[in-house]
Structure 1
Amino acid sequence: YDQTRSRKNGYGIHLKHFSSNGGIDDVGPSDYSFNSAEGFYKAFLDDHEVSGTALYDRRRISYYGYPSNDSIQDVLDGTDAPDDFRKQVYNDIGFAARVRTLHLDSGRLGYTAGMEVHQYSNLTESRETNLRLAGDVHLQQGSETYGLGVLLDNNAYRGQLGADLGDFRQNGTLVGLEPRVSTRGEKYEVRIGAGIFLDALGKSTFHFFPQAYLSYSLFNDILVPYAGVDGERRRNSFRSLTRENPWLTGAPALANTSLMY
């Protein structure tokens, strides 16, 4: 649901439910359900846009795809396991806010600033709190545009291994700067920059990525060949990993990765 068209603001809610009762024989319970509720609001000021989002997401899955052999079956049959032994539930509470400029004059300094927070946990009591601050400033001078992207990503994670094995903690901060300059002509665009990242997860590491892009228009934009290189240091969080694969172990160890292309 969202409101009708307005020049001053916009708001709405989004509800989603998707589930299955399973029904696959001889592999254990395979039922699952995905549920989410999200609300958003956006306001248009004189030369700014301000927006905010709040969400709750719950995902319930079953661990049913284990290999079947006599040894594993003997363990399962001999284990006095609770009803939720092969069940996993993920709860995500989050909110985000953003402000950006809407200048009609391209020669004025423009910027975008945003914040996103997530409190994420599962049924086996692993939990994570993530705070992400991101911003971008840009200024156009004639055919050239100068810009700078800024990132601050702080993550606090506690993995619960089990009642008898205890837990472990991984806390880290990812800081990034991405300066760039671009120029545009009638048929071409050239952009040069760099990605500079400090990753403090466990030990601190420094990462540098060249960034470049070139395109040229042919035959009145019918054909636009382009080439470029890019890269960044990317956060792999408990939330991002289990949203991609919810059947992971209940307490995966985390390590960030470099994306290069």
Structure 2
Amino acid sequence: MRKHANTLILAIFGFTATVVFSQEKDTINTGVINVVKPYTPTISDAFKVKETPSIDDEETATKKDIKYNIFSFPVASTFTPAKGKAAMVEKSKPVKLYDNYATLGVGTYTTILGEVYLNNAISRTESVSGYISHHSSQGGIEDLLLDDKFSNSKINVNYSNRLRDLTWNVDAGFQHQMYNWYGLPQSMVTVASANDIDGKHSFFGAHLGSDVTFENTYINSGSFLFRRFGDNQGSGENRFVIKSTIDLPINREEISTDIVFDYLGGAFDRSYETTDELKYGNFQIGVTPKYQLKQDDLTVNLGASVFYLNDIEANDSKVYIYPNVTASYRLVNDILIAYGGVKGGLIQNSYYDFATENPFVSPTLFIQPTDQLYNAYVGLKGKVSSNMSYNISGRYISDRNKALFINNNITATSQDYSYGNSFGIVYDNVDAFSLAGEINVDVNRNFKLGIKAEYFSYTSDMQAEAWNLPDIKGSLFLDYQINEHWFTGANVFYVGERKDQFYLNDPFIATTPFTVILDSYFDANLHLGYHVNDQLSVFAKANNLADDGYQRWQNFPVQGIQFLAGATYKFDF
């Protein structure tokens, strides 16, 4: 305690010395202040601070723009990325394509089917190919008085050359066909009379043709065809056709123009009723210019066709003019496309075309061209999805001198085709209205399906009916690759009712023809195959599964259910 008291006395003494020393150094003059009244502040002495003070500076400085810069310095990195690896994708084995194949099949009714296709590349630009086919049957339809066997053989050779500015090829071939007029009306022909009928009708045909396609020229393409066609009944026909497509420059626009020259001449050994020779012949020259307009989703083709016809046998000539206008408009991209058009033309009919459509015609036909005044159509088409498309259309066709097949009446000429077992041709003015619908499904390369149906309505001028034209036609096709080895497919056809006429050969009844209605028919065909390896495949076919001996033509029933099996071999030289 004493120790603390000494410390406190020393501190007081030091502080007193310091004050005395400071007073000795002070230079301020001293004075006397008299306080008269003490200061008492009041409220009026206070003032309110303004919320927004006014700036009364003589100069207001402007803010200087500040720029921000990033100073980048490289930084050494020791990171090394690992190399990426592509994901493994399972690749399908590439399909080996062969240039040649051979097919052979045998079946019921002693049916033989054979095909051989050969192709050889001479160089990078040249190639030659050949095709041989044969299809025959020994027949065997029950309850027939005549033989119903048939055969069809073809051989064709082609040479092609692809150059820098053009591509051209030459094609030549020969065909032999044999059919029988076996469609005797058995109620009108006795068995004894049938024994004297041969009924065999053979066709012979040869052709030579060529076509060429040009690049970067006003002449786009050109072709010619010469065909000789005849039969074992003394008939013969020649046809020569030249076609070309050129671009005509007019006022800096190019008008695409099709030009055709078509000559037809032939003769039949006799007419159906008499022994007079029946000749026919004409040539026609046609020019079809057209101009295309495109604007956004609208495409319009404007044109017309002009034909000059010279009938050589009748020594007569005439000029025909037809419309040729088409248009399409994309309403909704590829989903909904509207289209329509009006066309016309002079259709050249020939013995070859008639015999190809109906092999039971008689070699006594009167042949002349058909004047198609117009073919007007409208429709909608598009895609429902990426693998399904559709097409709906309506059509109205007006033909003058349209060729119609009609059953020949029974005559006393004693020809193999004069017993009501052949067909002739009649011409009439026919207007046809049709509605059609089509759906195609292409799920992938392994599955394809197509369905089509069409309805017809006809109006004829001089004839009682539009003979042998169906009121309904429908079809379905299916191709399915089941797996790597198995494949299958089907074809189904439906044809509605047709009408034909028939004469009664009775001396007590007037020979007035009456109308015959041919029933509609349904034809289903199925095939199944197996790929043994890349080159060899085996297959089996079944035709007319309904086993219906329907009549495609009056008094000509077809073979019932048919089975055929065979193999196809592909190879290279």
| TM-score between both structures, scaled by the size of structure 2 | 0.42
The reply on whether 1:58 has 2:176 as its aligned counterpart is: yes
1:1-261 equivalence runs, <5 A: 1-3=118-120, 7-27=124-144, 28-70=146-188, 72-73=189-190, 76-77=193-194, 80-81=196-197, 85-103=198-216, 108-138=217-247, 145-161=254-270, 165-201=275-311, 202=314, 203-259=316-372, 260-261=374-375
1:165-209 Cα distance to aligned partner (Å, 9 max, x none): 142211211111111111223322110111111222333232111
Q: List per-residue Cα deviations over 1:195-237 (Å, max 9, x = no partner).
A: 1112223332321111101111233322221111111101001
Following the alignment from structure 1 to structure 2, what is the Cα–Cα distance between the partners of residues 220 and 178? 30
CA separation of 1:7 and 1:215: change in aligned 2, threshold 3 A: farther
CA distance in 2, matches of 1:6, 1:139: 35
CA distance in 1: counterparts of 2:237 and 2:353, whole angstroms = 11
Distance verdict in 2 for CA 1:15–1:140, change over 3 Å: farther
| Corresponding residue SS for 1:50 | strand
Residue type of the partner of 2:279? R
- Partner residue in 1 for 2:407: none
The range that moved more, 89-98 or 1-10, is: 1-10
For 1:118, give the aligned amino acid: R
> How many Å separate the matches in 2 of 1:186 and 1:111?
26
Alpha carbons 2:269, 2:277 under 8 Å: kept: yes
Amino acid at match of 1:122: D
Cα shift at 1:99 = 1.4
* Distance across 1 between alignment mates of 2:305 and 2:323: 6
CA offsets per residue over residues 86-113 of structure 1, 9 Å max, x none?
010110010101112123xxxx424211
- Aligned to 1:217, the other structure's residue is in SS state strand
1:22 match: secondary structure: coil
Following the alignment from structure 2 to structure 1, what is the Cα–Cα distance between the partners of residues 165 and 363? 46
SS in 2 for 1:3: strand
Structure 1: distance between partners of 2:259 and 2:346 = 13
Amino acid at match of 2:269: Q
Contact 1:157 1:169 in 2 (8 A): yes
Q: Counterpart of 1:247 in 2: which secondary structure? A: coil
Is contact 2:284-2:308 (8 Å) kept?
Answer: yes
Question: How far apart are 1:62 and its partner, in Å?
Answer: 0.5
8 Å CA contact 1:144, 1:182 repeated in 2: no
Residues in 2 aligned to 1:146 and 1:200: alpha-carbon distance in whole angstroms:
27
| Structure 2 residue identity aligned to 1:61 | Y
- Identify the range of structure 1 (5-14 vs 236-245) with the bigger mean alpha-carbon deviation: 5-14
Taking the aligned partners of 1:76 and 1:184, their CA distance within structure 2 comes to 68
Taking the aligned partners of 1:183 and 1:206, their CA distance within structure 2 comes to 28
For residues 183 and 5 of structure 1, do their structure 2 counterparts lie closer, same or farther at Cα, with a shift above 3 Å needed?
farther
SS in 2 for 1:196: strand
Give the partner amino acid of 1:51: N
Aligned in 2, Cα 1:145/1:220: closer, same or farther, shift over 3 Å? farther
Measured after TM superposition, the shift of residue 4 of structure 1 is: 5.4
Confirm or deny: 8 A CA contact 2:305 2:323 kept in the other structure: yes
Does structure 1 retain, via aligned residues, the 8 Å contact 2:121–2:128? Answer: no
The answer as to whether partners of 2:122 and 2:128 remain within 8 angstroms in 1 is: no
Q: % of aligned pairs identical?
A: 20
Name the SS of the counterpart of 1:241 in structure 2.
helix
How far the C-alpha of 1:26 sits from its partner, in A, is 2.5
**What is the deviation of 1:136?**
0.9
Structure 1 pair 139–6 and aligned structure 2 pair: CA distance change class (3 A): farther
When the two structures are aligned, how many residues end up with a matched partner? 252
* Cα separation, partners in 2 of 1:237 and 1:125, compared to 1, 3 Å: same
Q: Give the aligned residue type for 2:130.
A: I
- State the SS of the aligned residue for 1:175: strand
Larger radius of gyration: 2
Q: Which secondary structure state, in structure 1, belongs to the residue aligned with residue 356 of structure 2?
A: helix
Segments of 4+ in structure 1 off by > 6 A? none
Alpha-carbon contact 1:144-1:183 (below 8 Å) kept? no
Q: For each residue in 1:14-62, what CA deviation from the matched residue of structure 2 results, as whole angstroms up to 9, or x when unmatched?
A: 1111111110122211000011001111111120111110010111100
In structure 1, give the amino acid aligned to 2:161. A
1:158 and 1:169 in contact (8 A); partners too: yes
- The CA deviation at 1:243 is 1.0
Cα deviation per residue 1:128-178 (whole Å; 9 max; x = unaligned)? Answer: 11111111112689x96411111111111111127x814221121111111
Find the residue that maps to 1:224 and give its secondary structure: strand
Alpha-carbon distance in 2 for matches of 1:133, 1:39: 20
Root mean square deviation, CA, Å: 2.5
Task: Tell me, yes or no, if the aligned pair for 1:34 and 1:58 is still in contact at 8 Å.
Answer: yes
How far does residue 6 in structure 1 lie from its aligned partner after superposition?
6.5
C-alpha distance in structure 1 between counterparts of 2:222 and 2:183, whole Å: 43
Deviations along 1:102-128, one digit per CA (max 9) or x if unpaired, are 23xxxx424211110011110101001
